[in-house]
């Protein structure tokens, strides 16, 4: 599937992502700035915080309880469209997904 990360400076990074890979791993593999994933996707940091483009929010779902708690400690402003990218898994339904990377 294809994913597009939009950066605050207006640049876009796109990448092909294998089914089952989470978006934090995909961002790191595609050298997306400001998506770090220090905890490796274990829900113990918020260094993979992204904003899900409005058109994709329903398909990516809502944050679970643990993710919700971690989003409270994210460096960038928390918004209704905030998610931890480690909790979004690539699937055919998400082909074309757009994620916005906040400035820390």
Domain range list for the chain: 2-100
The pTM for the full model equals 0.95
> What is the per-residue pLDDT for 78?
96
> What is the per-residue pLDDT for 101?
98
Closest CA to 58 of 97, 84, 23: 97
> What is the per-residue pLDDT for 102?
96
> What is the per-residue pLDDT for 28?
96
> What is the per-residue pLDDT for 87?
97
> What is the per-residue pLDDT for 42?
87
Four-way CATH pick for 2-100: 3.30.465.10, 3.10.20.30, 3.90.420.10, 1.10.10.10:
3.10.20.30
Which residue stretches of the chain have pLDDT < 50? none
> What is the per-residue pLDDT for 75?
94
């Amino acid at each position: 599937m294809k994913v597009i990360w939009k950066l605050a400076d207006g640049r876009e990074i796109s990448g092909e992502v294998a089914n089952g890979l989470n978006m934090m791993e995909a961002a790191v593999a595609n050298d997306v700035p400001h998506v770090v994933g220090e905890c490796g996707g274990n829900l113990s940091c918020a260094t993979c915080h992204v904003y899900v483009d409005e058109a994709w929010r329903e398909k990516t779902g809502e944050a679970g309880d643990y993710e919700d708690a971690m989003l409270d400690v994210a460096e960038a402003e928390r918004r209704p469209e905030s998610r931890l990218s480690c909790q979004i898994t690539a699937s055919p339904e998400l082909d074309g997904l757009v994620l916005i990377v906040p400035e820390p």
